[in-house]
Every structure is written in structure tokens, then in C-alpha cells.
Amino acid sequence: SNFVRDMAGNDAEPQLLSDGLRAFAVVDDIVAPTLLSFNLSLTSHELVLQLSEPMNVSTLNVSSISLVNNTASPVSIHRLHSATSVSNISNCVAAPFVVVTLSDADVDALALDDTIGTGSDNTLLTIDAGAWTDLYGNLIEGVNTSAAVNLTGYEPDTVKPELEAYEIFMNTSGG
């Protein structure tokens, strides 16, 4: 087999499954995952989170995530209400990424408040400690307002509005 070679270029001797080596020790993962960065797209309604390790997406409490407009004395704080989906991005090499598809209510709330969510200068993210677990059950480290994570990438809302419903009231009584 030429899968592994030593410094002199010699092939390693293959080990049969029946001759496998038993692990001397197995060390459990006890390291708390951390949030490294995030992107926000108001066009696709997506919040993309980069984490220090793979996460169990089914354990995320979306309402534990907040967007704030600054770390010193935030004027605007928007705590997410819900998500339409939470999923892993497959084939990520550097670090695990998770996509949170924001609810229309959250996107609308951000659109109505021009002090938050309009760019990297006024969009930071916090998450409550213990609001999410990794694949080994370790709770995520919290990020409070004073240490809020800066926005890495931003896409504004470029979707044109569409009329969804209307009502007409016609007074036929002549008055």
C-alpha cells in the first residue's frame, strides 16, 4: 500500500482489520464550542454562523440569538423570534457553518429599524450561554453584548416588495 510512507519513501505495512490496534485511550470532547463569525443576508433571509466545531442543529434555541447595534450602549437589540429552518453547510473545510433561515417577522423587524441590521457598522451578534450544543453535548459559550461578534459579510434586502392582499371599502349608502 502506498497510503503511508516513511521518510525514506518505504510503504507502510498494511494492517488487516483482524490485526487492528486497540486504542490506548479515548479522550472525550469536553471543549465548549464558540461562535467565530457570522454573515447576514436580508435578501435570502439567512444568518450564516461560523463555529469552532460541528453543532447539533436540532438543539439550537433561535430565540437565544440577538442582534445589537453596538457593544458599548446598544440602542437597538433584536432578539430573534423563530427560524424557518436551521441546517449545516456540508463540505466546509475550515470550520463548521450553520445556516439559520430567519422568519419573515424577524426580517421585517430589522427592516423597520434603521439603527440595526443595515451593515457591518451596526450589526453585531450575541448568543446566550448554553443555548446550543455540539455533537458531544457540550454547551456553547455565551457571547454577551460587550463582546458581541462583528458582522463579517452583509447583503441588504434587494427584493422588490409585492402586494400580498388588499381590501376595498365602498360606501354605497350615499353618505
Average pLDDT of each block of 10 consecutive residues along the chain (175 residues)?
81 82 90 96 95 92 95 90 84 74 94 92 96 94 96 93 89 68
Q: Which pTM does this prediction carry?
A: 0.79
Scanning 69-171, the segments in alpha helix (DSSP H) are 104-112
The per-residue pLDDT for 158 is 92
The per-residue pLDDT for 1 is 55
The per-residue pLDDT for 9 is 87
- 5: which DSSP letter? B
Spatial CA neighbour of 67 closest among 3, 115, 15: 115
Residue 16, judged by CB atoms within 10 A of its CB (0-12, 13-18, 19+), counts as: exposed
Spatial CA neighbour of 47 closest among 85, 12, 19, 76: 85
The per-residue pLDDT for 175 is 55
The per-residue pLDDT for 62 is 95
The per-residue pLDDT for 103 is 95
The CA distance from 76 to 69, in Å, is 6
- Give me the phi and psi of 57, to 5 degrees please: -65, -25
